[in-house]
Amino acid sequence: MRPFTYERATDAQAAVKAMAEHPNAKFLAGGTNLLDLMKLEIEHPAHLIDVGRLPLAAIEDTAEGGLRIGAMTTNSHVAADARIRSRYRVLTQAIVAGGSGQLRNKATTGGNLLQRTRCAYFYDTAKPCNKRHPGSGCGALEGLNRNSAIFGASDACIATHPSDMAVALVALDASVETLTPWGEGRRFPVAELHRLPGETPQIETRLAPGELITAVVLPRPPQGGQVYRKVRDRASYAAGLASVAVAGGNLALGAVAHRPWRADKAEAALKSGASPGEAIAAELAGAAQNGRNGFKINLVARLVPAALEEARANGRDA
């Protein structure tokens, strides 16, 4: 790990101000992803601003009938919250499908959204990767790309976003609240947080440099059942090959694109009376494979109808 200086921020305004004052600084919250990447010298900030103890770890009711989750709330606390378990079960299910107990105890809501891809070529500093080293090429394009994207990829990058939680948040129409380096609060949908890779896969979100996520806001839960289903190579503690979040009529897919993939074509098909199989086929008409990841198309085609059926059953029980 390369040397860095460290400070503990006392409030959110001070944190974004410190970020503006230090070149090559990063926010540190739980650290479970950032510190791992620093050990591997994929990330090498010169200064860390520890935001983990900012007073942003509460889950509050909103006036609109939803919930505001402070960005420093740990994944474990979000998953265990009684309101989330009863009204937003897809979110609890998505969180407990990710990482291990130890990791979820440390990982935060904001950090989970900003975790980086698990693409093997991003992790191997001896290999080309446009995300890690812009302009060096994409090793995955012709390489071991079994877990790469089937939606929205580019010739520059076929990596996927690894978060389970974010997939549920997109299906729930959640928003993020942020504080910009110039001290302004912003709010926009989680679905608009992450970018597609295009020619600049190193730019992963629409956050300005130094912008801090302060909260995630859940609207009132949608009508209908909810469920999260994830498929992976072993039963626990592994990144997904494909996942799906169902929340009422909303559908989002995980591990298939550079961002959580809102399946709006499938949603539209379902609304106009298509069967679950027909609906996901409409979405998958826009999918593309890269040699070794073609199985994901079949996987999603089978996973989504099963999840829709389970969500309907959950909706009846509720």
Partner 1 sequence: MRTTITVNGEARSMDLDTRTTLLDALREHLRLTGSKKGCDHGQCGACTVLVNGTRINACLSLAVMHDGDEVTTIEGVGAVDGLHPMQVAFLTEDAFQCGYCTPGQICSALGMLREVADNWPSQETQDLTGPVRLTNDELRERMSGNICRCSAYPQIVAAIRSIAGEPA
Do β-strands 185-189 and 175-179 pair in parallel, antiparallel, or remain unpaired?
antiparallel
Residue 237 makes contact with partner 1 by CB under 8 A: yes
Max CA-CA distance within the chain? 58
Amino acid letter, 193: L
SS3 state at 232: coil
Q: Which of 26, 42, 68, 99 binds partner 1 (CB under 8 A)?
A: 99
Stretch 105-144: interaction string toward partner 1, x if CB under 8 A: xx--------------------------------------
* Shortest CB 146 distance to partner 1, Å: 19
DSSP 124-163: -TTS-BTTTSTTS-BSSTTSS-TT--SSS--SS-------
* Shortest CB 4 distance to partner 1, Å: 6
Stretch 217-236: interaction string toward partner 1, x if CB under 8 A: ------------------xx
Q: Is the dihedral of CA 305, 307, 309, 311 positive or negative?
A: negative
Residue 36 makes contact with partner 1 by CB under 8 A: yes
Residue 74 vs residues 169, 259, 302: alpha-carbon distances, Å: 15, 21, 32
Using CA atoms of 193, 197, 203, 204 in order, give the dihedral in degrees to the nearest 10.
40
Residue 57 makes contact with partner 1 by CB under 8 A: no
Q: Which of 9, 16, 25, 28 binds partner 1 (CB under 8 A)?
A: 28
Report d(CA 170, CA 175) in Å as an integer. 8
Of the two residues 92 and 130, which places its CB atom closer to partner 1 in the complex?
Answer: 92
Instruction: Note the residues at the interface with partner 1 (CB under 8 A).
Output: 1, 3-6, 8, 28, 31-32, 35-36, 39, 48, 50, 52, 76, 79-80, 82, 85-86, 89, 92-93, 96-97, 99-103, 105-106, 235-237
